[in-house]
Structure 1
Amino acid sequence: MTSQYDTYQTSLTGRYCSPEMSGLFSQRSRHSAWRKLWLYLAQSEKELGIDTITDEGLEQMKAHLTVTDDDFEIARVEEKKRRHDVMAHVHAFGQVSPAAAGIIHYGATSCYVTDNTELILMRDALDIVIPKIAKVLHNLQTFALQWKAEPTLSFTHLQPAQVSTVGKRAAGWAQDLMMDLDEYQRVRNELLFRGAQGTTGTQASFLEIFDGDHGKCDQLNELLCQKAGFKECYDISTQTYTRKVDCLVANAATGLATTVTKIASDLRHLAFLNEVGEPREADQIGSSAMAYKQNPMRSERIASLARALQGKAANFMNTHATQWMERSLDDSAIRRMDIPEMFLLADAITITLQNVTEGLTVFPKKIHSNLMQELPFMVTESIIMRLVKKGVSRQDAHEEIRVLSFEASLRVKGDGLPNNLVDRIRDTEFFKPIWADLDEMLKPELYTGRSSQIVDKFCGPGGKLEQKLAPYQASIKAAKAAHLSV
């Protein structure tokens, strides 16, 4: 007998995603949604006067909304014979709801169930991911406030720049992620329904069902939206809802990928510098050969999953661009893969990032050591300013300190020795006017600028981030870190 180990299984559902997201995009979830949509349609048509739809039929439909394994087998046999998945499931639903068999799918086209289900699934998937983004933001907020005043070396071009703080860097990550939260919430709020639009979006079949009553055609969609939990339908549909909707959702969903890649990349560099480390299990192994290794494997996983997510946006754009006239079926196969995978990837990423941000370890002494290797170079501008105040030529001071800085840099890079720029300044008579100031000038906290205040303003009480997270407090408290295996 063939087992799960004999056929390909996606790593997303088997290794990385939540059971909730995997379940949402399961075949049972999808096809049970079809049945709910057929029930909503029949109920609404009856409410609008179609008396061939009986109460008995509706009750039978209600009793069989969840597709069973037996139903799937019936549908499998039917689809093999009819080569049409929707009609196969219409037949399977009719077998368990015989009193409704003749009116299931009345007036509808296949996209009534397929497209409306995809909109429902995307809406529900957004509802799963959004609180997880909020939880990561809460973690970053806590981390940023905790380390807002800890001086650290900042980098431009991945070269030492000036002094910042550990917390300010994390606040920068949080700001980017807050933009993603805004985009996810925006597309969630703007997502509408296709409704019952007929074969090519003209509602001709429903106009015939309702004997030319245009008002009932509008009422039908209003009732369907109420039952499915949408505020309204898109104004214009063809056979499908416009695939532009998929592009807008994908732009938001895949935008998360760039943010988390930036965060994960920074964490990987910080791990290399031995300044910040990922959570680490007591028995965790970094390498099968190099027992000492402590690799940033979760950040690497995030970067890897994000690369796949980022690539999804182009597929949706290409699909929308090539929908000829009222519909082209070349959207079908790719969307069957890309819509679920887009949200499965986002789910896996946010789960892993939640785990990382809940357990980051900071190594202040190493941060200080790395900073002090570069700080002498960074105080040179202040030295020049102080010399000028004491009457020294600014250009002369610049040249003197340029020469000493180059010599000290050559010692560090060429000979692998500690930075001795300060000693060189103390030994050079030109700098005698500021010798007494040097020890005071070598305190890193003097050069962090307004980092602490910037973090407080953004992350602290009443700040933008706190305001943004206010609606998610219940889900944040309920969330637990996910400790995943690699």
Structure 2
Amino acid sequence: MPDQSASVPAAASASTSPAGSTAGRQSLAEAGIPVGPLDGRYRSAVAPLADHLSEAALNRNRIHVEVEWFIHLCAQSVLPGLSPLTAEQEQGLRAIVTDFGTEGIEELAGIEAITVHDVKAVEYYISARLEDLGLAHLKPLVHFACTSEDINNLAYAVGVRDAVEQVWLPAADQAVAKITAMAEQSAAVPMLSRTHGQPATPTTLGKELAVFAHRLNRQMDRIRQQEYLGKINGATGTYAAHLSAAPDADWQQIARTFVEHLGLTWNRLTTQIESHDWQAELYADMARFNRILHGFCVDVWSYISIGYFKQIPVAGATGSSTMPHKVNPIRFENAEANLELSNALLDSLAATLVESRWQRDLTDSTSQRNIGVGIGHSLLALSNVSKGLTQLDVAEDVLAHDLDTNWEVLGEAVQTVMRAQAIAGVEGMEDPYERLKDLTRGQRVDGERMREFVQGLGLQPEAEARLLELTPATYTGLAHQLVTPQQ
């Protein structure tokens, strides 16, 4: 058989190409270099999530759930030989959770390497510490009557709840507070609207920003009211193992009080898994928040591009590697991309987690490990929005010039006053819309031409005077009042 290797170009072989060769290079994998940007380039912006949604945090929360279940069963004295623990014993058990750090993470990983089962490793990790607490005789009580999902669903619920309430919501509050502050500061700054991208009835910059703050606050209110559900009812949600061991115990009441003790809402009816519907609800609300914030970023980027906002240069920062004059709106561009990445994951989680084959499949296990990534990209976007807003100044001169070159937008006011005059019986007010269309469509109208037109209409003196005083900059209705919510 002929040697076909001779027909392969040398450049195609990584082993013989200097460009493709890895010989002699230090292994970045061995150096512990992260694969993803959230644990690399952007680590500082999302680091607080590690306390709640990392693999180590999941294991700590699993230990927390197992320890509290152990304490709860003793307190309920559900089995012969059980009695409430002493305060010292409870403190010692809870110290297993609070002391879980680098050494514990490594020890648990070593156990899991043998068990090839993460929750079983947690059980063994806790059991190994009972002898020092004088509780070695209660090792069988660790993970009592539990399936892995009993522990996992509660651990995830605690982790997601704390991540949202302690990390994501404060960051969202901070970003929206900055939008609100900018809205209030520019409440009376007139701005030409651009419906369909065309000059339209003026508004104020503050009112337009306030619209976004109002929408984002609505979503945050929904997220603040989110229920975090949990269950602890056995392998298929029937309490079968529980009843076999203690048939006289009120296991539903024991489960309910335990779940509520963790600060969660009890889900009384499930299969092996907690149904995850609450997660789908939460991620849908967070994704909607992200989409509204994405729209805000697009609008701010667009206002920057037409000069409505001036960007404050950051000392030492480079806008373009070749064009020294540029200050690029990178904060809002970065936020857009991260919001899109966040929603890709949040949408996928919301769709995947609500389905499970029969009583249990494992699709949720892999999916939920990416919750931190989905929320992390949203958190990174919020960080960029907050920073980006501090680097903006309102260019009131540009806004004023834009208004002064678009007097035709007063056509709406003039034809509406003409309609009102016609209703009042004033003659000569026929076809108001059509007459203003002839005056303004497809052409610019300056202030002098608009006033001449108004003066020739035959309006009642008071109505004419109101229109003659009107300018594009003053034709903003109640916009400045709308910025402040009514009490």
Residue type matched to 1:134 in 2? D
Which one scores higher on RCO, CA 8 angstroms, separation ≥ 6?
A: 1
Q: Which residue of 2 aligns with 1:11?
A: 37
Q: What's the CA shift for 1:60? A: 5.2
- What are structure 1's unaligned runs of at least 5 residues? 410-418, 465-486
Give the distance between the partners of 2:417 and 2:478, measured in 1 at CA: 21
Measured in 2, the distance between the counterparts of 1:426 and 1:259 equals 40
CA distance in structure 1 between the aligned counterparts of 2:197 and 2:150, rounded to whole angstroms? 53
Aligned partners of 2:208, 2:196: CA distance in 1, in Å? Answer: 15
Q: Deviations over 1:197-219 (max 9, x none)?
A: 11111112222232x0242x134
Q: Answer yes or no: is the 8 Å Cα contact 2:451–2:468 preserved in 1.
A: no
Task: Give the match for residue 377 of structure 1.
Answer: 408
Give how far 1:263 is off: 0.7
SS for the counterpart of 1:163 is strand
Letter in 2 for 1:165: T
Query: One-letter code of the match for 1:84?
Result: H
Seen in structure 2, the aligned counterparts of structure 1 residues 279 and 241 have a Cα distance that, compared at 3 Å, is farther
Change (3 A) 1:429 1:133: closer
Q: Is contact 1:404-1:421 (8 Å) kept?
A: no
**Distance in 2 separating the partners of 1:199 and 1:245:** 21
Amino acid at match of 1:253: M
d(CA) in 1 for partners of 2:465 and 2:39?
61
Partners of 2:454 and 2:468 within 8 A in 1: no
| Cα distance between partner residues in 2 of 1:425 and 1:135 | 45
Map 1:155-166; keep pairs closer than 5 Å.
Answer: 155-166=194-205
Secondary structure of the residue that 2:318 maps to in structure 1? coil
Q: Displacement of 1:250 after TM fit?
A: 1.0
* 1:361 paired to 2:361: no
**1:149 matched to 2:188:** yes
Residues 22 and 344, structure 1, Cα contact 8 Å, conserved in 2:
no
1:335-414 equivalences under 5 Å are: 335-337=368-370, 339-374=371-406, 376-382=407-413, 392=428, 394-395=430-431, 398-399=434-435, 402=437, 405=440, 409=443
Would the alpha carbon gap of residues 405 and 114 (structure 1) be closer, same or farther in structure 2, given more than 3 Å must change? Answer: same
Structure-2 change in CA distance of 1:64 and 1:221 (3 Å): same
Alpha-carbon distance, 1:403 to partner: 5.3
Q: How many residues align?
A: 439
Distance in 2 (CA, whole Å) between partners of 1:40 and 1:23 is 19
1:278–1:228 Cα change, 3 Å:
farther
Quickly say closer, same or farther: Cα 1:107–1:442, change in 2 above 3 A: same
Alignment of structure 1 residues 281-320 onto 2, 5 Å? 281-320=314-353
Question: Which moves more between the two structures, 320-329 or 13-22?
Answer: 13-22
1:207 partnered with 2:238: no
Shift of 1:121: 0.8
- Partner SS, residue 326 of structure 1: coil
Deviations 1:257-292 (A, max 9, x none): 111011101101100111124554222221111111
Distance in 1 between the 2:161 and 2:182 partners? 31
Q: Which has the larger radius of gyration?
A: 2
The CA distance in 2 between the partners of 1:386 and 1:223, in whole Å, is 66
| Residue 112 of structure 2, aligned match among 66, 70, 79 | 79
Q: How does 1:48-67 map to 2 (within 5 A)?
A: 48-49=76-77, 50=79, 51=81, 61-65=93-97, 66-67=99-100
Fraction of identical pairs, as percent = 19
The aligned residue for residue 176 of structure 1 is 215
SS of the equivalent of 2:320 reads coil
| Alpha-carbon offset, residue 312 of structure 1 | 2.8
**Equivalent position of 1:447 in the other structure:** 475
Does residue 138 in structure 1 map to residue 177 in structure 2?
yes
Give TM-score, length-normalised by structure 1: 0.80
Report deviation, 1:335.
1.7
Aligned to 1:191: 228
Structure 1 residues 314 and 25, CA gap change in structure 2 (3 angstroms) = closer
What code does the residue aligned with 2:411 have?
T
Distance 1:20 1:386, change over 3 A: closer
Question: Structure 2 length normalisation: TM-score?
Answer: 0.80
Describe the SS at the equivalent of 2:149: helix
Q: Which amino acid aligns with 2:296?
A: I
Q: CA offsets per residue over residues 82-113 of structure 1, 9 Å max, x none?
A: 32111123223333434254432122111122
Could you say if the C-alpha distance between residues 277 and 198 of structure 1 is closer, same or farther in structure 2, counting changes exceeding 3 Å?
farther
Counterparts of 1:204 and 1:176 in 2: how far apart (Å)? Answer: 47
**How far, CA to CA, are the matches of 1:369 and 1:330 in structure 2?**
58
Bigger shift: residues 359-368 or 54-63: 54-63
Question: What residue is the counterpart of 1:29 in the other structure?
Answer: 57
Instruction: Give the match for residue 262 of structure 2.
Output: 228
Using the alignment, how far apart are the partners of 2:305 and 2:391 within structure 1? 17
Alpha-carbon distance in 2 for matches of 1:429, 1:443: 13
Aligned-partner Cα distance in 1 for 2:186–2:297: 18
CA drift at 1:77 = 3.5
Give the whole-Å Cα distance in 2 for the aligned partners of 1:430 and 1:171.
Answer: 37
Question: Offset of 1:226 from its aligned partner?
Answer: 4.9
- CA distance in 2: counterparts of 1:92 and 1:385, whole angstroms: 77
Q: What's the CA shift string for 1:340-371, capped at 9, x where partnerless?
A: 12322232232332333445310100111122
Q: For 1:428 and 1:193, how far apart are their aligned partners in 2? A: 70
Instruction: State whether residues 38 and 46 of structure 2, in contact with CA within 8 Å, keep that contact through their aligned partners in structure 1.
Output: no
Unaligned 5+ runs, structure 2: 1-25
Rate the CA distance shift 1:235–1:126 in 2: closer, same or farther, 3 A. Answer: same
Task: Tell me the distance in 1 between the aligned counterparts of 2:454 and 2:262.
Answer: 82
Instruction: Give the C-alpha shift of residue 247 in structure 1.
Output: 0.8
